[in-house]
Amino acid sequence: MNDRYRRHAAVRISRRSLLWGAGATTAALVSGCGGPVTPPATAARPSASGTRSIATAFADPWRGMFEPAAQPFARRALLDAPQSVDHARERLSVEVTTSQRRAVLSIACTADLLRDDVVVVGGWTVPTTLAGLLAALVEPDADLVVDAAPTASAAAPTDADRGDVLR
């Protein structure tokens, strides 16, 4: 894990009821590890507690790729490594066709491994991009909220946030 993500690893995580309606996507689950810039299509309503949205529209091309049985691991990724969503967004915000998805994801995961960019999800060590993508694809009925306890560094928008989703 690089320094940036180590910083974010301190984000407190808790289980709560969703604060918004069913129309909000998983992407609207909030964490303190991203910048505030999100496209309207994927923005979540900020909660009264000051939680933040993370943009997950970048994951839409991959949405049909994973079986429903992947959801427990995806939810665990969101709990254990919410910061990985930012990382995945950086790596996967590219034009991609259905037939290209696996190759693009494989390249990103290989690059992660070469840089030791890995996170631990439910005890399993996986490439950060994969964890982030799965976290971004958590279904909306997931009973999870990630509290934001933003630090000064975490609140600063990153280049990745500014670039956000390309579709």
Spatial distance between the Cα atoms of 80 and 103, rounded to a whole number of angstroms:
26
Nearer to other proteins, 72 or 157 (CB): 72
63 near other proteins, judged by CB under 8 A: no
67 near other proteins, judged by CB under 8 A: yes
**In the complex, minimum distance from the CB of residue 67 to other proteins, in angstroms, rounded to a whole number:** 5
Nearer to other proteins, 111 or 156 (CB): 111
Interface map 101-140 toward other proteins (x if CB under 8 A): -x--xx---x--xx-x-x-xxxxxxxx--x---x------
Spatial distance between the Cα atoms of 167 and 158, rounded to a whole number of angstroms:
19
Torsion angle defined by CA atoms of residues 95, 43, 156 and 81, in that order, rounded to the nearest 10 degrees = -80
Secondary structure letter of residue 156 according to DSSP: S
Whether 77 contacts 132, CB under 8 Å: yes
| # of chain residues touching other proteins (CB under 8 A) | 28
H helices then E strands: how many in the chain? 7, 2
The number of angstroms, rounded, from the C-alpha of 156 to the middle of its chain's C-alpha atoms is 17
99 near other proteins, judged by CB under 8 A: no
Nearer to other proteins, 60 or 151 (CB): 60
73 near other proteins, judged by CB under 8 A: yes
